[in-house]
Amino acid sequence: MRRFARVVGPTEHDKFIESHALEFELRREIRRLQEYRKAGIKSFCSAKVYERVKRMREDERRKRTMLNDVLQYIQDGRACQQWLSKQAAIDAGVTPAVTTITVSATGRRSAPPLNLTGLPGTEKLDEREKEVRP
């Protein structure tokens, strides 16, 4: 781009850069419209509904991925607890704090209570089930 800028003047160079930015936007819009056509969408009203449903599907996919991550940590209770508290803090929009786990007199670590706020399926639990400690 520098060599091209040396050959043409600053105005032509700015037009060249703007045309590349416009080309990028047009290509992105064409891909989006092709996706609509492939899905059988023929109106912009249907496209809005399609985008809303697509976003909901992606959110559900992210939640399933998060659940798979939790299942990987389920073997190690301490790691599971730390991951859950970190995710809850992220969902709440708070910077996750580092949690410390104390060791009791018996030599076992006591884990803090699980924070299930915002996790999928928690609305199906009663209050006693929500307070179960790991």
Count structural domains, the chain: 2
Determine the Cα–Cα distance for residues 36 and 39; give it in Å rounded to an integer.
5
Tell me the residue range of the domain where 72 lies: 42-134
pLDDT in tens, 73-92: 666 677 767 777 888 888 87
- Which DSSP state fits 124? G
Residues 64 and 34 in one domain: no
- pLDDT-derived band at 107 (thresholds 50, 70, 90) equals low
Given a contact cutoff of 8 angstroms between Cβ atoms, the answer to whether 73 and 79 are in contact is: yes
Q: What is the pLDDT of residue 60?
A: 86
Q: What's the chain's average pLDDT?
A: 78
User: Do 29 and 50 share a domain, yes or no?
Assistant: no
Same structural domain for residues 130 and 74? yes
Residue 109 pLDDT level (bands cut at 50, 70, 90): low
Cα–Cα distance for residue pair 82/114, rounded to 1 Å: 9
According to DSSP, residue 28 is labeled H
Same domain, 20 and 50: no
The secondary structure of residue 107, as a DSSP letter, is: S
Q: Looking at per-residue confidence, does 40 or 106 come out higher?
A: 40
Kindly state whether residues 52 and 116 are assigned to the same domain: yes
* Residues 81 and 119 placed together within one structural domain of the fold: yes
